[in-house]
Amino acid sequence: MTLVVEAGLDDRLKRTHPLLTLLRRPEVGALVAAVGIFTFFSLFTQAFLTPAGVSTWLYSASLFGIMAVAVALLMIGGEFDLSAGAMTGTTGLIVGVVTTQWGLNLWLALGLALAVALSIGAANAYIVMKTGLPSFIVTLATFFILQGCNLAVTKLVTGSVAIQGMGVVPGFDQAKLFFGSAFPLLGMEVKVSIVWWIALTALATWVLLRTRPGNWVFAVGGEVTSARQIGVPVFRVKLGLFMTTAGAGWLVGMLQLFDVSTVQATTGVGQEFIYIICAVVGGCLLTGGYGSAIGAALGALIYGMTLQGIVFAQWDNNWLKAFLGGMLLLAVLVNLLVRRQTGARA
Amino acid sequence: MTPEPIQPLPTEPGPIQPLPTRPKPILAVRDIGKSYGAVRALQGVSASVGAGEVLCVLGDNGAGKSTFIKILAGAHPHSEGTLLAFGTERRFTHPREALDLGIATVYQDLAVVGLMPVWRNFFLAAERTRGRGPLRRLDVAGMRATTKRELARMGIDLRDVDQPIGTLSGGERQSVAIARAVYFGAKVVILDEPTSALGVKQAGVVLSYIARARDRGLGVVFITHNPHHAYPVGDRFLLLQRGRSLGDFAKSEITIDEMTALMAGGPELEALAHELERR
């Protein structure tokens, strides 16, 4: 009897194996789309493939990419963070306010902003895990709180809705080396944020696929009860994920602050969904337990290329939103197929 | 099925006689009971399982099977009687305590993550690593090879341990869970209704893995409500009804018909008889 069943299993495997192997890579769809969009804009616009053009869309993609990778990890772990966008504003504003208004040392200010970001991330995790409420709701609340505070506190302290005078803060030029510098490469002006983006994508991929905590991220997102029953430290994993996302928000906040030497109180608002879309386009399941960091980085690349490509093509900027929606729908449909193929009997 | 390796010689028919010809019990309970407040879920139950033996626990819904497992697995401490594990009296208050002694429980819901590959499930929360410091990484090749080998030892031949475990059938998933418990040092495996959600064929697959685990010298506690699943693999049979023991029988002391008759009858039994005919 055993033999019969096993023979049946092997037959089935032989038949679907190549398809499954291909579909098992979550980033395949995003890679195909990225190549397609790259080819399209390279052929149909003048500026897209010039060194200046490439550095523009790479920079744009890098800021979204860093967040998308962190958000993808969180989503694989089965949670959302809607406060991730506002966090990039909050951290920039903290550094701006305490240095320009109160004369705090810049490096201390950087540390303070990071500590605040990590605490907010930890608070998100703590509330989600202790109450069992969906992270969608909890971080939606955090998002509104941050958005409100960003505006109200900035106005209260500076009397305006933007921070000016960052450039004259002592130490600004040294810090700019890490967050706002650029170096020439193949005729391009490569901003340092692109290095951060690639490094973090590589690191996240390594952690996800080759470390124990990475294995646990998939487990807590895929089947939290089973993971807990078998001994995965669920709370610690989710705490780490929320704090990672908040930490990424801090990094992007700094990258923006030191790039343009100013920060608006509305920075980052509305971008939280773009991070999620990049992650989903990159193959993350909305239900958790499946996805990839490289895929999310590719999702951000698609977004960055399209954002700038539409400008280069001199189209109406509003097409971007329509395109984004179309990509999202397509990605979700592909993901559904994946789910059917791999998890139908789960 | 392999022939029964152990045939205890009964001196007299009837329940609970420690028999000298049996292997030394590695897990035994005597007059064990459990009350939840005023409700006595289980009382006066005695049974034991030795290395290389299969103890089947049979009973209808509400007979006290779940309470019985929970005591053995360490989920709920017993309130009466004694529990002996490897000759020492114990009272488990946490599943970890039982697990540390080598008593592993495979629950019906299996504790697997459907979207993850088989090998990642096999080693989940007990991953093997290589290297040190920042280079400390999963020993992917080693874990893949071990998973394949351990599953093969249980008679599960997977072409690809990288396939998501959700693509396996229910019986195969159950068998992977058993193989995992065995690999991580279980001396006794407690199986909570492993065949009840399965079709006839798949149930047969799981039964053959139970026999294999037994042949490898493990004690197996097999909880089921189906005598036709229990009888082929069981060495001893504990029958429960409404929280009390109807007896602990060696295989030679009871026939399958007597067993079914002892359990509550009704249309369910006819369905089971039907299932037996089909097999």
What DSSP letter does each residue of B185-203 carry, written as one string?
A: T-SEEEEESTTTTS-HHHH
Contact B120 A289 (CB under 8 A): no
**pLDDT value, residue A8:** 40
Over residues A70-89, the mean pLDDT reads 94
Domain carrying residue A107: 48-340
Contact B112 A229 (CB under 8 A): no
Contact A20 B163 (CB under 8 A): yes
**pLDDT value, residue A12:** 43
**pLDDT value, residue A213:** 93
pLDDT in tens, A20-38: 666 667 788 788 888 888 9
The answer to whether A252 and A259 are in contact (CB under 8 A) is no
Whether residue A6 has pLDDT greater than 50: no
The full set of domain ranges for chain B reads 25-278
pTM of the model: 0.81
**pLDDT value, residue A239:** 96
Whether residue A190 has pLDDT greater than 70: yes
Asked if residue A4 belongs to a domain, the reply is no
Residue A4: pLDDT band by 50, 70, 90 thresholds? very low
CATH number at A135 reads 1.10.3470
Nearest CA in chain A to B157: A6
User: Using a CB-CB distance cutoff of 8 angstroms, which residues of chain A are in contact with residue B180?
Assistant: none
Residue A89: pLDDT band by 50, 70, 90 thresholds? very high
Q: Which residues of B touch A (CB under 8 A)?
A: 107, 109-116, 120, 123-127, 129, 136-138, 140, 155-160, 162-172, 201-202, 204-205, 208
**pLDDT value, residue A61:** 94
Scanning the structure block, which residue is given the tokens 């970890």? B96
Cα B156 to chain centroid distance, Å, stands at 18
Which residue in the set B114, B125, B140 is minimally distant from A223, CB to CB?
A: B114
**pLDDT value, residue A20:** 60
The answer to whether B98 and B72 are in contact (CB under 8 A) is yes
A304 has a chain B CB within 8 A of its CB: no
The answer to whether B242 and B59 are in contact (CB under 8 A) is no
When scoring A230, A235, A285, A290 by the number of chain B Cβ atoms within 10 A, the one with the most, hence best to mutate, is: A230
Answer yes or no: CATH 1.10.10.10 is held by domain B25-278.
no
What DSSP letter does each residue of A103-152 carry, written as one string?
A: ---HHHHHHHHHHHHHHHHHHHHHHHHHH---HHHHHHHHHHHHHHHHHH
pLDDT in tens, A102-147: 888 999 999 999 999 999 999 999 999 999 999 999 999 999 999 9
Whether residue B7 has pLDDT greater than 60: no
Nearest CA in chain A to B132: A211
Asked if residue A227 belongs to a domain, the reply is yes
A346 has a chain B CB within 8 A of its CB: yes
Asked if residue A140 belongs to a domain, the reply is yes
Pairwise CA distance, residues B2 & B22, whole Å:
19
Asked if residue A345 belongs to a domain, the reply is no
Dihedral sign (CA A256, A259, A265, A269): negative
Contact B115 A17 (CB under 8 A): no
Asked if residue A281 belongs to a domain, the reply is yes
Whether residue B87 has pLDDT greater than 50: yes
Least confident of A90-99, A129-138, A239-248, B124-133: B124-133
User: Using a CB-CB distance cutoff of 8 angstroms, which residues of chain B are in contact with residue A210?
Assistant: 137-138, 140
Pairwise CA distance, residues A88 & A255, whole Å:
9
pLDDT in tens, A254-269: 999 998 888 888 888 8
**Mean per-residue pLDDT of chain B:** 82
User: Using a CB-CB distance cutoff of 8 angstroms, which residues of chain B are in contact with residue A3?
Assistant: none
The answer to whether A218 and A76 are in contact (CB under 8 A) is yes
**pLDDT value, residue A248:** 96
pLDDT in tens, B89-135: 888 887 778 888 888 888 776 678 888 999 999 998 888 888 888 88
Contact B120 A218 (CB under 8 A): yes
- Of residues A11 and B263, the one with the higher pLDDT is B263
**pLDDT value, residue A59:** 93
Q: How close B203 comes to chain A (CA, Å)?
A: 10
Q: 3-state SS of chain B: helix, strand, coil percent to 5?
A: 35, 25, 40
Cα B17 to chain centroid distance, Å, stands at 22
In terms of average pLDDT, the best of A64-68, A263-267, A338-342 is A64-68
User: Using a CB-CB distance cutoff of 8 angstroms, which residues of chain B are in contact with residue A20?
Assistant: 163, 167
Whether residue B4 has pLDDT greater than 80: no
Residue B16: pLDDT band by 50, 70, 90 thresholds? low
Look up residue B50 and give its two tokens: 């030795």
**pLDDT value, residue A33:** 85
Number of domains observed in the structure of chain A? 1
A345 has a chain B CB within 8 A of its CB: yes
